[in-house]
Structure 1
Amino acid sequence: MTQLSYAAAGVDIDAGDELVERIKPLAKRTMIPGVLASVGGFGAMFEISKEYKNPVLVTGTDGVGTKLKLAFTLGRHDTVGQDLVGMSVNDILVQGAKSLFFLDYYACGKLDVDVAERVVAGVAKGCELAGCALIGGETAEMPGMYPEGEYDLAGFAVGIVEKDQAIDGKSIKAGDVILGLASSGPHSNGFSLIRKVVEVTNTPWDMPLDGRTLADCVMEPTRIYVKQVLNVMKTVTIKGMAHITGGGLIENVPRVLPENTQAVIHADSWTRPAVFDWLQQAGNIDSHEMHRVFNNGIGMVVIVDAADADRAMAAFEAEGEKVFRLGEIVERETGAAGCVVI
C-alpha cells in the first residue's frame, strides 16, 4: 500500500510554517505598547494600559465579501488585507474606540505562500494605518473546500474606550449637523452588483475611468479613519458616527439616531466619485437602490452640534480628510424613515 501523508492529502505543513516566518516581520512593524505575546504562539496576549480608569472593550468582525472574486480575477492580492482591517476598525471607531489589536483568518484549498504573504502584507498595512497591532491569526489549508486559486478572509478587531466617553448617539437632537468623510471608492460593499453590471454590459476591467481604469477604481482599498477621527475627538465633541457599509447611507445612519430623530441628507452636498456615476448609468440603477447598496463616496458619517460644525470640518481637513456638510437632523414624524436623501 502507498504510504500516505498529510502532504499527499493536500496539506503542506512546510508551506504553512514558511508563511508564519514571512508574516512575523510584517506583524512586528505593527507592534504597539501592550503587546505581550504575538504571532507564533497558541494565543496572543495584550495588556490594557493602567491609564484607563473604567475601560470598555469594543469588538468588531467582518470579511471582504465578493470583492475577493475580483482579486482572483485581476490577480490583485495586495490591498484586500487593508479592506479586511478597515471594515472592522471603522466599525468599532463609531463608538469612539481606539483599536488595540487585530486577528485575521485566511482559508484556502491549497496554500500559495506568495499570494498569502501579499494578502497579509495588506492586513499589516491596514493595522499600521489604524494604529493597532496584528497580534495573531490563523491560516487554514483545506483541500477540496475552495476552488483552485481562491481563498477567503475574515478578521476581527478589539478596541478600547473609557466608559464615560463611549459614543452612543443618545445626545443627538434636531438641529445637529451631519458631516461626511469621503470614501476611497466602493470600499468592500456592493461588489455583487458591481460584478453584475460589468457582466451585463460586457465592460472590460481596463476601461478608462476618471484618469484610471475601472479595476483601479473598484479595487482601491477601504479608507481607514481611525487616527484622524480620534485626533478630532480631542478637540470637538462628536455626538454620533456611522460607518457606511452594506445598506449605504439610508440604512446605516439611522442605527445611531434616537428614535424621534431623522437624518436629512442633501444629494448635491458632496461630490460623488465617477465610478458611482458610471455604475448607476451603466446598470440603470435607481437612485434609492444606489443609496441602499453603495457608500456613494461617503465612508463615514459624523454628527456634531451645529455650533461645532465649522470647527469640526476644519479639524478633519487638517487631518487630511475630505469632508462635506451633508445635511441636518430633524424631528422624525411617525412612520417616517430614519434617513432620507433628497
Structure 2
Amino acid sequence: MSEPTAYQRSGVDTAAGDLAIELMRADVQRTHSDRVLGGVGGFAGLFDAAALKNYDHPVLATSTDGVGTKVAIAQALERHDTIGQDLVAMVIDDIVVVGATPLFLTDYIACGKVYPDTIAAIVSGIARACEHSGVALIGGETAEHPGLLGERDYDVAAAATGVVEKDALLGPERVQPGDEVVAIASSGLHSNGYSLARKIVADAHLSLHEEVPGHEQSLGDMLLEPTLVYTPGIVHVLSTLPGVVHSASHITGGGIAQNIQRVLPPGVAVTLERGSWRVPAVCSILTAHGGLGLGEVEDSWNLGIGAALIVTAGSGPDVVKALASTGLSASVVATVHDDLAGGSPAEAAKGVKGGRVELVGAWPS
C-alpha cells in the first residue's frame, strides 16, 4: 500500500472523490440526451443550445438554491438518497413558475470527508429527479472541507437554467380579477422551515425513529418525505392549455400568503379559506408537540400547498384535470378579486410589492 500524500494527510482524499464519480456516473448519464456534449468529469458541462434558434425571442431563466437544514434529518437517519430530489425541486420549480422549461442543472456538495457511497446516494437522488423532469445533470462538484465540517456532515446546492419565449413569460401583469387560484398539494414540509421543525423535535425530545401513533411512518420518515417536483406537471399544463396560466408561485420560505403575493399585481387580492385544502399530518403533529397553532407557522411552512397557478376564469377544473394526469393533486381554492381594502400594495416576500393575500377562518382542530 502506498504512503498517503500530503494532501491526504491534511484530510482530503482525492481517490475517494474519484471513486464517488465512478459510482454516480451511470445515474448522471441517464439524464443526458444528444444535447449534452462531452461526458462526466470535464471542467465544464456543455449543452447544445442550437434549439434556441427556433425561438423568436428566447429568454433564459436561472435559479440556485439548497435544501437548508433538512440535510440534518437525512444525516441523523443515515438516508441520503432522497435529499437530491429536494434539491432539484427547490431549484427547477422556481424556474417553471415563470413559464420556462428547465434545461440543465449543476450541483455542489460540500462535506467534511468524502464517503463515496454517501455522495453517490445523494447524486443518485439528484439524477432520478432530473431524469423524471427531463433536465440534464451536466456538471457538479464535490468538495472536502476537513476542519470546517464534521466528518459525516455535508451540505448541498444546485443551479439550473431554463428557457422561455419572451411572449410566454408568466407574471403579475397577466393577472386580472376573476382569475382562479389552483392550489397544488404538497407532500409535506418540502424543504422549508426545518430549523423550526428540528427545534420542536429537540425541545419535545421526540424520536425520529419511532412510528407516530395513528400513522404507519416514523416522524423521521415524515420529515424526510421528498419535495414534490412540480415541473413536469406545470410544463404539461403550459403546453396543453396554452395561455391559460397567467402567473404561478412556488410556495417556499415565507409560506402561502407571501409567495402568492409575489405573483399578483397591486390592486387585486386573494382570500383563502383556512381548512379548504388538506394540511399534511406532519404539520399538525409538530405544532401539537410545540404548543403552537397552525396560524403561528403560516409564515414558515407550506401547510399543504406546494405551488399555486393563477389561471383564466373558468379554466380551473381543466387545469386540475391536466395536473391529475401527471400525478399531481390540485383544487381550485380561490378567485382573484379587486382589493377592496385599498391602500398601498402589500409587501411580499423578497421585498416584492404585489397584491394582497388573506387567510381567513380557522384551521380545523
**In the alignment, structure 1 residue 18 sits paired with structure 2 residue 25:** no
**In the alignment, structure 1 residue 202 sits paired with structure 2 residue 205:** yes
User: Once the 2 structures are TM-superposed, how far is the Cα of residue 221 of structure 1 from its aligned partner?
Assistant: 0.6
Deviations, residues 102-146 of structure 1 (Å, cap 9, x unaligned): 100011121111111111101101111221011001111121110
| Alpha-carbon distance between aligned partners in 1 of 2:201 and 2:254, rounded to the nearest angstrom | 21
Secondary structure of the residue aligned to 2:172 is coil
Runs of 4+ in structure 1 displaced over 6 angstroms?
none
Contact 1:39 1:137 in 2 (8 A): no
Pair 247,38 (structure 1): closer, same or farther in 2 beyond 3 Å? farther
Secondary structure of the residue aligned to 1:185 is coil
Contact 1:261 1:329 in 2 (8 A): yes
Deviations, residues 280-331 of structure 1 (Å, cap 9, x unaligned): 2221224333221101111110111122112112221222211122212122
Contact 1:241 1:302 in 2 (8 A): yes
Residue equivalent to 2:250: 243
Residue equivalent to 1:80: 83
Of 326, 330, 336, 1:329 maps to 336
Residue equivalent to 1:159: 162
User: Once the 2 structures are TM-superposed, how far is the Cα of residue 4 of structure 1 from its aligned partner?
Assistant: 5.9
Counterparts of residues 98-247 of structure 1 (less than 5 Å): 98-205=101-208, 206-208=210-212, 210-236=215-241, 237-247=244-254
Question: Which runs of 5 or more residues in structure 1 are unaligned?
Answer: none
User: Once the 2 structures are TM-superposed, how far is the Cα of residue 177 of structure 1 from its aligned partner?
Assistant: 0.9
Of 71, 92, 107, 2:95 maps to 92
Secondary structure of the residue aligned to 1:7 is helix
Residue equivalent to 1:275: 282
Of 288, 311, 316, 1:309 maps to 316
| Alpha-carbon distance between aligned partners in 1 of 2:216 and 2:59, rounded to the nearest angstrom | 45
Counterpart of 1:28, as a letter, is: Q
User: Once the 2 structures are TM-superposed, how far is the Cα of residue 335 of structure 1 from its aligned partner?
Assistant: 4.6
| Alpha-carbon distance between aligned partners in 1 of 2:308 and 2:58, rounded to the nearest angstrom | 25
Pair 244,47 (structure 1): closer, same or farther in 2 beyond 3 Å? same
Deviations, residues 45-71 of structure 1 (Å, cap 9, x unaligned): 112213323211100000010001111
Deviations, residues 155-203 of structure 1 (Å, cap 9, x unaligned): 1111111111111121111221111111111110111111111112112
Residue equivalent to 1:341: 359
| Alpha-carbon distance between aligned partners in 1 of 2:216 and 2:24, rounded to the nearest angstrom | 35
User: Once the 2 structures are TM-superposed, how far is the Cα of residue 210 of structure 1 from its aligned partner?
Assistant: 2.9
| Alpha-carbon distance between aligned partners in 2 of 1:289 and 1:331, rounded to the nearest angstrom | 27
| Alpha-carbon distance between aligned partners in 2 of 1:114 and 1:287, rounded to the nearest angstrom | 39
- Aligned residue pairs total 341
| Alpha-carbon distance between aligned partners in 2 of 1:42 and 1:176, rounded to the nearest angstrom | 47
Contact 1:174 1:330 in 2 (8 A): yes
Counterpart of 2:267, as a letter, is: N
Deviations, residues 183-240 of structure 1 (Å, cap 9, x unaligned): 1111101111111111121121123253222111110111001111111112321011
Deviations, residues 58-116 of structure 1 (Å, cap 9, x unaligned): 00000010001111111111100111111000001110111111100011121111111
Contact 2:65 2:157 in 1 (8 A): yes
| Alpha-carbon distance between aligned partners in 2 of 1:269 and 1:305, rounded to the nearest angstrom | 21
Contact 1:269 1:325 in 2 (8 A): no
TM-score of the two chains, using structure 2 as the length reference: 0.90
Pair 256,330 (structure 1): closer, same or farther in 2 beyond 3 Å? same
Residue equivalent to 1:44: 45
Contact 1:126 1:224 in 2 (8 A): yes
Aligned-CA RMSD value: 1.6
User: Once the 2 structures are TM-superposed, how far is the Cα of residue 277 of structure 1 from its aligned partner?
Assistant: 1.4
Deviations, residues 248-296 of structure 1 (Å, cap 9, x unaligned): 1021111111011122111122111211111222212243332211011
| Alpha-carbon distance between aligned partners in 2 of 1:179 and 1:31, rounded to the nearest angstrom | 33
Counterpart of 1:341, as a letter, is: L
Contact 1:15 1:111 in 2 (8 A): yes
